[in-house]
Chains A and B, each alone.
Chain A
């Protein structure tokens, strides 16, 4: 069964460093998403991406964040200058359509900012 994959599974970084989290969505899906879950809190939407541009972003997704689809398979989330409060699980998801459609999630990347 096709699945969303994410690398790395765990990333440890120093505050102020840049990190890139990588995702390979399901191959025939057209919509891509990033969510995060801070320990003990809800899964929160960060951004959606379609047709090589951001279709929607939350207030969390500020100028420190960017997304890119550098090739036909990868989808990345970059945090330019990490802060302690960026420590969280980051989940990538993809879907075939936008509305009325389930999103399929990857296993997540645990980001720890020291």
Chain B
């Protein structure tokens, strides 16, 4: 049941450049989307979210873009820093549930100094 897909298992970028992480979803009833970052041996840490009534949300170096017609969202990190190296999860809620988050498999971002 792959309602949320992150097709790139890994991404490597240079420090200072832009990191773009992508996520696709299949359930058109999802109406709230979140990005989490996870370091090894820690729980997911909330980064940024976006409601389906918006197409962009920005918080510092992090911007999330939502394209509802394509059922696609992306997370942009500018500029990327070595401390950003982690696994990034896309998650979605709604779709008939008020409670659960449905996660993608994650993308391992490595930012090289």
Binding site for B on A (CB under 8 A): 4, 6, 31, 33, 35, 41-45, 48, 50, 55-56, 58, 91, 93, 98-100, 102-108
What are some 26 contacts across the A-B interface (CB < 8 A)? A6-B43, A33-B100, A35-B101, A41-B105, A42-B104, A42-B105, A42-B106, A43-B89, A43-B103, A44-B103, A45-B100, A45-B102, A48-B100, A50-B99, A55-B99, A56-B99, A58-B100, A91-B43, A98-B98, A100-B93, A102-B34, A105-B43, A106-B43, A107-B42, A108-B41, A108-B42
A91 to B38, CA, bound (A): 12
CB distance from A4 to the nearest CB of B (A): 7
Could you tell me how many residues of chain B have their Cβ less than 8 Å away from some Cβ of chain A?
26
Supposing A99-B94, A100-B32, A100-B51 touch, asked if A45 and B42 sit within 8 A by C-beta, the answer is no
What's the minimum C-beta distance from B94 to chain A, rounded to whole angstroms?
7
Q: How far is the CB of B71 from chain A (nearest CB, A)?
A: 18
Chain A residue numbers with a CB within 8 Å of B105 are 41-42
Q: What number of A-B contacts does a CB cutoff of 8 Å give?
A: 63
CB distance from A41 to the nearest CB of B (A): 8
Q: Mark B69-113, 1 if CB is under 8 A from A, else 0.
A: 000000000000000000001010110011111111110000000
Report the bound CA distance from A93 to B43 in whole Å.
Answer: 9
Q: Is the CB of B98 within 8 A of A91?
A: no
Consensus secondary structure, chain A interface: strand
Q: How far is the CA of A98 from the CA of B36 in the complex (A)?
A: 17
B46 touches A104 (CB 8 A): yes
